[in-house]
Amino acid sequence: MKKWQIIKISAGVLILIFLLLSFIKRDRGPLIKGRPLELWAQDLLITADPIKHNAAKKAVSQLGTNAIPWLRKALLYTDPFWKKTLLNIAESTPFIDPKNIHLWANTYELAEIRAGGVAGLAELGQLAAPAIPDLVEALGDPNHLVFNNALLTLNGMGKLPLNEITNKLSRVQGQHQTRMLHVLRNMQQEAVGSAPALVRIIETQSGSNEANAAIAALSTMGIKAAPAAVQLAISSRYELRFAGFNVLSRLFPAEHELWVELKSNIQLGHENEKEVFLALQNVWGHSDELYNSLSDAIFRGSPQSCEAAILLMHKAAKRGNSSARKLHKLRNETLNSYPNIQAALEKIAAPSGGFSKFEPAKNTLK
């Protein structure tokens, strides 16, 4: 029994010496005023002493892009695979305090080192663009101090992270993917190139946090995201239709009456759904022919788009609402110069009443 105890103690001592040497030899970055960059970067964190913050900003700025190699290295600073095994062995060794082991191995500070690396890159702003792949990877870090700083840093870089995020979006899942989607949402219209990838997430992960984050991001991307939203709205799956209409209602809030009408009446198997869905495609389903509103499609669009927009306006029209007044205005004003409009109005007019029963227009078409 004593023999095994001696062996364990000896092994523990050797492990501690090895870990201590690893700690001493670890690269802590270039020196600035006698302090390593690692410490200056950690002073940039919100958890650090506020008095030290300005001095840390100046120190990192003084190095400029020369700080990037070490800051990128800091983002990757994690224990090697063998360290946890050795720590477990050491912890089971008698007469060794586990707290001292973790202190010597620096396990408590790993997250702060990585977070400091992110904060240092944030201080450099767009000059830190070469580190974008590492920052996107840091969004998946298990420590909130690291991924929150990575979010803030990427959000401050504008469109620069778009390609990296779009390329990696399908390779990650869970919170990592959700945080990447939050960055795209912050880019708004500049991230519209990622719309097809967002549609795939919404289709394949319907109802998940990731899908909800993708819907929120898509809703901020402006008129150019309309074709992607229409793709969802005309799906054979009701939950995707509902998501598509929600996105369209945010992209085109001026058409509020239309989205309320469609969301309340267009169900699976509805007799008019094919007609309505084709109209949606003809107005907002083509990336080379985008309109800001139904009125824009009526007056500026092709004959096909004009007819589709009038059909959708007709669907949204209720007695006394703005869609009804616009239709009344179109029908009663002289529009000889708009033969497309006249033809479309004649096509949707019904013997049972139609828009001729609506109140006279009080406002001009907007």
- Taking only the tens place, the pLDDT of each residue in 319-335 is 889 999 988 888 877 56
pLDDT of residue 87: 62
pTM: 0.79
Q: How far is 34 from 200, CA to CA, in rounded Å?
A: 52
Annotate 306-317 with b (16+ C-beta within 10 A) or e (fewer).
Answer: bbbbbbbbbbbb
Domain ranges of the chain: 2-268, 269-366
- Taking only the tens place, the pLDDT of each residue in 340-353 is 787 888 887 744 43
Q: CA-CA distances (angstroms) from residue 233 to 134, 147, 202, 284?
A: 36, 34, 12, 11
- Taking only the tens place, the pLDDT of each residue in 167-221 is 999 999 999 999 999 999 999 999 999 999 999 999 999 999 999 999 999 999 9
Structure token digits, residue 88: 């477990």
CATH class of 2-268: mainly alpha
Nearest to 128 by CA among 50, 216, 66, 56: 66
